[in-house]
Amino acid sequence: MMLSIKKKDALIIVDLQVDFCPGGNLPVPEGDEIVPIANKLVEHFERQEGQIVFSRDWHPDKHMSFKECGGPWPAHCVQNTRGAEFHHDLFIPPSAIVVSKATEPLKEAYSAFDGTRLSETLHEAGIERVFICGLATDVCVKSTALDAIKLGYDTYVIQDASRGITKESVEQSLKEMKNVGVKIIESRQILSN
């Protein structure tokens, strides 16, 4: 039930950026509501000396995932624009690692591990468990969790610290993740320690 955070644990906060929050270019419903929970988790991992990672969607101004280029999404998280910034209330400690993904025009990358050095970084830090949350549960959080399991990490998704695009695809995604051994937890299981 309770999970005690140690040095070999990493918190991965996925894509908690302006464009994925209400008012942004690709808003996830209630996306901003997880910011206070994310901040509490960050403080807790800092205190317990766990590793803290923030991923960000970091697209060039023409990206294959954009509608104008034949992709499924409105243009979002374009490098060095306001929409690509982390939510302005998010607490990013100096010790945190920032991972930028989907930076190449012709490649999509939903997972924070895809095309980044995240797995090497976590390996070098001796990380054994990863706790994933953020936006969107049914896109980049899911993809990151499925990669983490494949890479051999004991993998947790913090449900109340994540939001998805639709209720149906969130339900489906949670099933998919559980089926491969991802543990779905609530933030209080970590924070009540």
> Among all residues, which ones are annotated catalytic?
15, 101, 140
What's the rounded Cα separation, in Å, for the pair 187 and 166? 21
Please report where in the chains the tokens 């209330």 appear, as a residue: 89
Pick one of Zn ion, ligand VGL, none as the site partner of residue 140 (Cβ within 5 to 8 A by kind): ligand VGL
Q: Which of 15, 31, 90, 146 binds ligand VGL (CB under 6 A)?
A: 15
Give the per-residue contact string, 43-62, with Zn ion (x = CB under 5 A; - = no).
--------------x-----
Helix (H, G, I), strand (E, B) or coil at 130: strand
| Contacts with 91 (C-beta within 8 Å, 6 or more apart), sequence order | 39, 42, 43
Judge contact between 99 and 55, C-beta under 8 A: yes
Give the per-residue contact string, 131-170, with Zn ion (x = CB under 5 A; - = no).
----------------------------------------
Q: Does 15 bind Zn ion (CB under 5 A)?
A: no
Q: Does 136 bind ligand VGL (CB under 6 A)?
A: yes
